[in-house]
Chain A
Amino acid sequence: MVKLNVNGTDIEVEADADAPLLWVLREHLGLTGTKFGCGVGSCGACTVHIDGEAMFSCQTYASDVEDAEITTIEGLPDNGDHPLQKAWIAEQAPQCGYCQSGQIMRAAALLSQNPDPSREEIVEEMSTNLCRCGTYPRIIRAVERAAKEV
């Protein structure tokens, strides 16, 4: 049994303490917006916020975050209407879309810590996350756009 706080709600999950948070979120809680890409912290598809920091949920044991606030794409503030989501639509960023939850979560953590990032800061931060469709130019533009609006 693991006790978690996910998207502002306290939840008890029938999962092993050493289960990766990724599988707890996706398969136990049905929060499938967070994606599995590599399992080794190389692609960022599984990015969630742990106490506001962008973290790889595939590299996080559920039991290590029992006292933390976990936020997934489903719990992003103003979900659906978040400035980043609006910017993502304005720039028509996604193609297959699979990596985009992780991209948006990483961008959201960046903007909350650095509301006015330079282009170089955005590019460096977003380089943690892979996109195989090649939507990087639009992702960068979308983060810049959202930063102006926040």
Chain B
Amino acid sequence: MTPSTLTSRRSFLKMASATTFALSATGGVSILAGSATAEIIESVNVGAWVTLHADDHITIRFASAEMGQGVSTALPMILAEELDADWSQVRSEQVDKGPLDTFGNPKINGIMYTAGSTSVEGYFERLRHAGAQVRRVLIHSVAAHWNVPVEEITTEPSTLVHGGSNRNMSFGEAATTLTLITDVPEVTTEELKSPSNWRIIGTDVDRLDIPAKTRGETEYSIDVRVPGMLYAAQLNAPVEGETPIEISDDDAKAVAGVVQIIPLTNSVNVLAETFEAALLARDLLDVTWSEDSAFRPANSETELATLKAAVEDRGRDAIVWETKGDATSSLSDADAKTIASVYTTEQLYHAQMEPLNATASVDEDGKGAEVWIGTQSQTVSIGVAAGVLQTTPDKIRIHAMQMGGAFGRRTVFARELLRDALLLSKISQRPVKLMWTREDDVKNGWFRPASAHQLSASIDQDGNVTGYHHRLASPSVLQFALPQIWEKSNGRDLLVMEGAQAQDYDCPNLTAEHIITERQSKIAAWRGIGWGPICYARECFIDELAAAAGSDPAGFRRKLLAKSSRGSAVLEKVLEMSDYGNAPEGRAHGLSFAGYKGTRGAGVAEISLDPDTSEVRFHKFWAAVDPGIAIHPRNVQAQVEGGVIFGLSGLHRERIAIVDGQVDQNNFYDYEVLRANQVPEIFVEIIQSGAAPSGVGEIGVPMTGGAVANALFALTGSRPHNMPFNAHL
């Protein structure tokens, strides 16, 4: 607890009727002056996170951003548990803006930034304390009102109870009719509920956001319509960084409804009264570009060859990510068997279903704006907007909308889309909705970078791994996407390298290192971040080591995981679930142990080959996952299913190729994501080890590459050393 969170949780606000109720611009808890005392109080904002309403419904805020992962339910569940709320009365509301010492995620440098499956992990303790503190305020207040000792008050869901006098009062009534005693002692961690008393955490409540999503009522940023707004279609530079030199726009301007053609540094923008007019006019633009980009020679095939050469060149400098013992000596031990192998991965596109877009309405004085954006970071988006308008963050009124998928693409994209929407609004002096088409979204993507992995290991006569060396070459995602953090990171790129430490495996002598290459395109984190490529390469290699040691994939991993009880548990569970190794005729199983940060996971794929096309067919996939504590088990299951499908899609036919600095793919017809008739039956088992809760949004991804590659080996005797496996078929 930081002092400032204590302050904000001690600041309580009582307000008059709902019409005057609003979270202040800072997201906090200033008392609204002039609350008419004679009015009936309909809702009370107790602390920063909770509003209690006279009709007994409860609004619980969450500060992560909902992109489909279920934080709009899971985070309020945590607070509701300690508040002892009646869950059926809970509604949730996303925080757009507010003090970061209250709302920032401690796992992401204390800002509002939803990535890396860190929401539950980051906010768990804070939300428990916040809920408990509100409950304590209500208990103290009702005790004073009934004139009984505080210790005699208990709670039932959303109800204060005094057993001795057989009295009770709902939370809503208490909050809106009593004088709230806010100066109560801080709830200590020891005073929080014991997990055995939980009645909300660990239950399969319905997600709060689902009914609206079945009725088409959920509002995404692409759905925003602002009075007087213009639509913008953007013709982007064909190659990164190029600028428009000459623009012939007579034909475009002649299209009915076109209002203005605005060149920006790297784009030409058509503003029109309708989006169809803007698109039509965009096609009629004739633009000469500077053709001077340093990225003109960029080519994916060359890049892959360069990456491969880099890991094989022992003279290349590398940043050490993790080192234990002495891997170098172990690997040169003449008595040990030494094995080495190289794996590569190609670039991938996020393909979130909602093409990127942003809407901005810049104030007349140009020094403030209202913006609508589906963003993984409210804080970054506000910062970008303030920077563009050279103003202060308080002048940015942001609506952080439900995202139509994100998967890492919407972390810092405000830097481009929101920037341009603001500039266009400022220049045109109208609100502007800037929408990318799917082709724009593909051609201007920020991709998971290509990577090469050289793995070397030594095995002693007993089949123990005595030395392990993972050399990874790729451009740095952190350097490109988050330069301010990169500057302070000493060259350590957690968005590429995290996972290479092989944390659960018993390897006393281990080195993992990163050869940072020049980027050939814009790059970003992609669901599973570095764990996806790393676990693919490592788990293939582990099977190779097992064979070299004369062991089998399951037995060899058992031995490597012997010192990790959580790792062993998910391994044993998935072996049991899948009846590993006993695939039906014509099919094969492949095994992979692959965690994601604090979450442990293991997967088994059952596949066959299409006799006509030689493509992999996915029949079944079993996943065992231990997120410590599953806040919302049914959603954990859904996230793992989604993650597995995302991973399988990424290893199958998805592939971005850069040719002469331009993205070769266009749309879903040539960037092929998995469809319903290609997905396997998926079986998920959750193990709750009771460790601190950790994320589940990405754990499904890293286990897929190794499991499928190892199954391919079992089926064909040949293991794919480049992912995706079927994009070149």
Contact = CB atoms under 8 A, between A and B. Distances in A.
A33 B218 CA distance: 8
Contact of A40 (B213, B275, B669, B675): B669
B39 interface: no
Contacts of A74: 215-216
Interface in A3-58: 15-16, 19-20, 23, 26-28, 30-40, 42-43, 45
B220 interface: yes
B679 A136 contact: yes
Interface stretch (B360-368, B402-410, B453-461, B542-550): B402-410
Contact of A132 (B213, B217, B231, B353): B353
A136 B276 CA distance: 31
A137 B276 contact: no
Contacts of B729: none
B216 A72 contact: yes
Given A15-B274, A39-B438, A94-B210, A134 B216 contact: no
Nearest to B438: A38
A147 interface: no
B70 interface: yes
A132 B354 CA distance: 10
A95 B673 contact: no
B17 interface: no
Given A33-B215, A42-B667, A85-B214, A98 B405 contact: yes
A96 interface: yes
A137 B676 CA distance: 8
A123 B438 contact: no
A137 B668 contact: no
A138 interface: yes
Given A96-B353, A132-B405, A137 B679 contact: yes
B647 to A, nearest CB: 9
Contact of B219 (A32, A38, A45, A99): A32
B645 interface: yes
Interface string B351-376: 11111000000000000000000000
Q: Which has the most chain B C-beta neighbours within 10 Å: A96, A124, A140?
A: A96
Contacts of B383: none
B336 to A, nearest CB: 42
A127 B675 contact: yes
A88 B212 CA distance: 11
Q: Which has the most chain A C-beta neighbours within 10 Å: B67, B214, B674, B675?
A: B214
A150 interface: no
> Chain A interface mostly helix, strand, loop or mixed?
loop
Contacts of A130: 353, 668, 673, 675
Contacts, number: 180
A127 B219 contact: no
A104 B677 contact: no
Interface residues of B, number: 65
Nearest to A38: B438
B115 interface: no
Interface string B527-547: 000000000000000000000
Interface in B424-447: 435, 437-439
Q: Which has the most chain A C-beta neighbours within 10 Å: B209, B216, B407, B673?
A: B216
Contacts of A101: 216
A43 B353 contact: yes
A115 interface: no
A134 B225 contact: no
Interface stretch (B319-327, B551-559, B635-643): B635-643
Q: Which has the most chain B C-beta neighbours within 10 Å: A97, A101, A104, A139?
A: A97
Nearest to A90: B206
A96 B210 contact: no
A129 B353 CA distance: 11
Contacts of B275: 23, 27
Given A27-B274, A132-B351, A73 B638 contact: no
A110 interface: no
Contacts of A137: 641, 679, 681-682
A35 B223 CA distance: 9
23 contacts: A33-B215, A33-B217, A35-B220, A37-B355, A38-B668, A40-B667, A42-B667, A73-B216, A93-B214, A94-B207, A95-B70, A95-B639, A95-B642, A96-B352, A97-B212, A97-B218, A98-B352, A101-B216, A127-B677, A130-B675, A134-B642, A135-B638, A135-B642
- The 10 tightest CB contacts between A and B, nearest first, are A33-B216, A96-B68, A134-B645, A97-B213, A98-B404, A95-B68, A134-B642, A73-B216, A42-B668, A32-B223
Given A89-B214, A136-B675, A138-B638, 20 more contacts: A16-B256, A33-B215, A33-B216, A72-B216, A80-B211, A84-B214, A85-B214, A92-B638, A96-B353, A97-B404, A98-B220, A98-B354, A100-B213, A127-B675, A132-B352, A132-B646, A135-B642, A136-B645, A137-B641, A137-B679
